[in-house]
Amino acid sequence: MFDRFLYIIVFIVFALQTMISCTCSRTRPDDFVIPDSIHDVSPEMLHDLSDDIVDNLSSSIETASLFKSLDVPFSQKYLASTKNISDYHTACDKAFNLGVFGADLGYLNMYGKTSMVSVYVLAMKNLADGISIGQFFNYATLKRLSDNNENIDSLIYISQQSFNRMDRYLRQSGRGNLSVVMICGVWIEALHLSCRFYVETANVRLAETIGEQKIMLAELVRMLQLYRNREETAALAEALTLLQNAYEPIEISVQAGDLDRIEQDGNLRIVQNETTVVHYTGEQIDEIVRTVELVRNKLIRQ
Amino acid sequence: MKKRIFFFLFLSAAFVAPLVKAQTEAQRIDLCVKAAGDVRFLSDYPVQLSGSGSGEKAPVFRKAIALHKGNRYRLTLCTDEESAGEGVLQLFDENKLVGSSFNTKTGTDYQSFDFDCRKSVFYILFISFKEGKEGSAVAILSHVKTL
């Protein structure tokens, strides 16, 4: 009797193992190919990415790094309040505000405000649990790193990695809509911070950064349109449309240039001389700033 | 009694094996993040590709990534020790190659290369293995500094 039971269990375990190994692979041997030689790469291969979600769209780390490089002083007053999380009932609300807090966390990390980090990671943990992705948010490590005032780069690494894992899991588990909503949250909050600091400093670099977000906004709209039949993303789609209207007069051109390859001590650096140029007026940026505040505060209910 | 011991050992091994595999991937990423140096981590791309048969073209991993003007990025590729093929990481702007971990003219491999980005656009990251061999690797995208 035990023998028979044993064989059945062994069979089930083998079957489960096979299923797990077939479904958990994160890599995709794509159906198109690339050889070692770049000459064999066809433009079709490069452009056939319409269903792909673009990575690093929201650039919260780059934005926070820009603030620091411009010596913009730290300001807590522009961050989203974690006290509102009981108001976020739907999965979309939770995903969006998880993104918002993610951008604020990146800002706090960059400025080394570890005492405030623990408040944000707790709020993020609650929101992540609310949409069943809390297991990918490394709360314990983040809390330990912030409590012990440890290395900022480690905090950024664990924060980013937690965020990327939650995002990937959402897409792998058929909830790509929440992934897009979360990315929108990060992007809008990073843009909001740029807008606030632009109002304070009138810095040209910040104005350019705000203006060039037109490129990212177009991609976010495209990604959200993949889920246009979902009622829960309607408020966000409406917000992005308002932003698109504000961005409409901004023009972005490309100035041609070659690449420079600099090799020093065995390290390779490639300098791109082709540049994007943002054409804007102060009034146009002011209109974007007003619209960003309107839609951001409405979406986070602040 | 032996059967029961075998049974419980088998069950333990069966359920622990996937966890060990997952842990190994996390360790590979951690090691590659360290190899990237004193930079800020942005994203990781674990890749495992099958080899190609004779006459077939090699499979490739691709990912669209947004890079933003005025930033220096570092792209790092760590080919696994047990990988049959040596990994190659290439960065494209539309159909133009802007960076590669392998210099085809000199035959030099670079574990990392920095990219001074002056054009905010969507780039495409390609990872393949030389000679179309089977292989596994981890790529790391990190932020070096604001320019």
Residues listed for chain A: 302
Q: Which residues pair with A55 in a beta bridge?
A: B65
Interchain contact A83–B (C-beta under 8 A) = no
Structure confidence at residue B54 (pLDDT)? 74
Give the bridge partners for B28, in sequence order: none
pLDDT tens readout for residues B39-84: 999 999 999 999 887 777 788 999 999 999 999 999 999 999 989 9
* pLDDT (0 to 100) of residue A52: 67
pTM: 0.83
Distance CA A102, CA A91 (A): 16
Share of chain A above pLDDT 90, in %: 55
Class of domain B2-146: mainly beta
* Rounded CA separation A134/A127 (Å): 8
pLDDT in tens, A211-258: 999 999 999 999 898 887 777 788 899 899 999 999 999 999 999 999
Q: How many A×B Cβ pairs under 8 Å?
A: 196
User: Locate tokens 């032996």: which residue?
Assistant: B2
Substitution target from B76, B89, B95, B140 for chain A, most A beta carbons within 10 A: B95
Q: Where in chain B are the domains?
A: 2-146
Backbone angles phi, psi at B53, to 5 degrees: -75, 175
Band (pLDDT 50/70/90 cuts) for residue B37 is: very high
Partnered with residue B93 across adjacent β-strands are B96, B123
Query: Tell me, what DSSP letter sits at residue A228?
Result: T
SS (H, E, C) A154-191: HHHHHHHHHHHHHHHHHHHCCCHHHHHHHHHHHHHHHH
Are A235 and A299 contacting, i.e. CB atoms less than 8 angstroms apart? yes
pLDDT for B124: 95
Query: Which chain B residues contact residue A270 at CB under 8 A?
Result: 98-99, 113-116
Q: Note the pLDDT of residue A23.
A: 35
- Indicate which of B42, B45, B93, B126 best probes the interface with A, i.e. most A CBs within 10 Å of its own CB: B42
Separation between Cα atoms, residue A285 and residue A211, nearest integer Å: 7
- Most distant CA atoms of chain A, gap in Å: 83
The 8-class DSSP code of residue A55 comes to B
Identify the closest residue of chain B to A13 by CA–CA distance: B14
